[in-house]
Amino acid sequence: MQLVVARIGRAHGIKGEVTVEVRTDEPELRLGPGAVLATEPAGVGPLTIETGRVHSGRLLLRFEGVRDRTAAEALRNTLLIAEVDPEELPEDPEEFYDHQLMDLDVVLADGTEIGRIIEITHLPSQDLFIVERPDGSEVMIPFVEEIVTEIDLAEQRAVITPPPGLIDESQAVIASSRDEEGDGDEAPAAGKDA
């Protein structure tokens, strides 16, 4: 099974290093020296990682055969893809690979069906489940512990306790209003002339 593990960013320096946007919870396993990765677009790869280091909080990689800034910049926006055994599980029992979560049924704690996971979006702050509802509409569920309370791979389901308004917009709670007092037809008061 193939999994996207990173996206190549801009070139760093003049010796062929690139920044990468990591898309795996196990970069030391997937993006270590010697790793051979397929690419998207396929014509760019495969790429073999020669060196890797962290600089200012970003992972920098150098690939075999990429020796200068021009060659490194040519790799920008290329996806790096690792071959993963579908039976392999993450070391942490609280972590999951995307392929394990795809097509899980999403239900409330009382068993009410919400839909099924059709996509997982990885954002800088959190991951999102894109869930297709029985009526064909979609809802986004943040993959955070407070909302996704249980992942049961044996039962092929994700149990959620959504806040009001996440699933049903009619239950949304308005936290504040810009016009709580008055009807909004009044003009703002003018400042004093000096």
Evaluate if residue 184 carries a pLDDT over 60. no
Per cent of the chain over pLDDT 70 is 80
Between CA 27 and CA 120 the distance in angstroms is 19
- The pLDDT, as a whole number, for residue 192 is 47
- The pLDDT, as a whole number, for residue 50 is 92
Evaluate if residue 194 carries a pLDDT over 50. no
**Mean pLDDT of all residues in 132-157:** 90
Instruction: Tell me if 18 sits within 8 A of 60, measured CB to CB.
Output: yes
pLDDT-derived band of residue 92, with 50, 70 and 90 as boundaries?
Answer: low
Average pLDDT, rounded, for the chain: 81
**Mean pLDDT of all residues in 89-94:** 66
Q: Which of 28-42, 84-98, 107-121, 168-182 has the lowest mean pLDDT?
A: 168-182
CA distance to 13, 73, 75, 134, 179, per residue, from 19 (Å): 10, 10, 10, 41, 47
Q: Answer left, alpha or beta for residue 56, where phi above 0 means left and psi between -120 and 50 means alpha.
A: left
**Mean pLDDT of all residues in 24-32:** 77
Instruction: Tell me if 29 sits within 8 A of 43, measured CB to CB.
Output: no
Q: Which residue has the higher pLDDT, 69 or 193?
A: 69
Evaluate if residue 188 carries a pLDDT over 70. no
Evaluate if residue 182 carries a pLDDT over 90. no
Evaluate if residue 159 carries a pLDDT over 90. yes
Question: What is the pTM for the complete model shown?
Answer: 0.53
pLDDT digits (tens, 9 = 90+) for 54-86: 888 888 999 999 999 999 999 999 999 888 766
Evaluate if residue 46 carries a pLDDT over 50. yes
**Mean pLDDT of all residues in 122-151:** 87
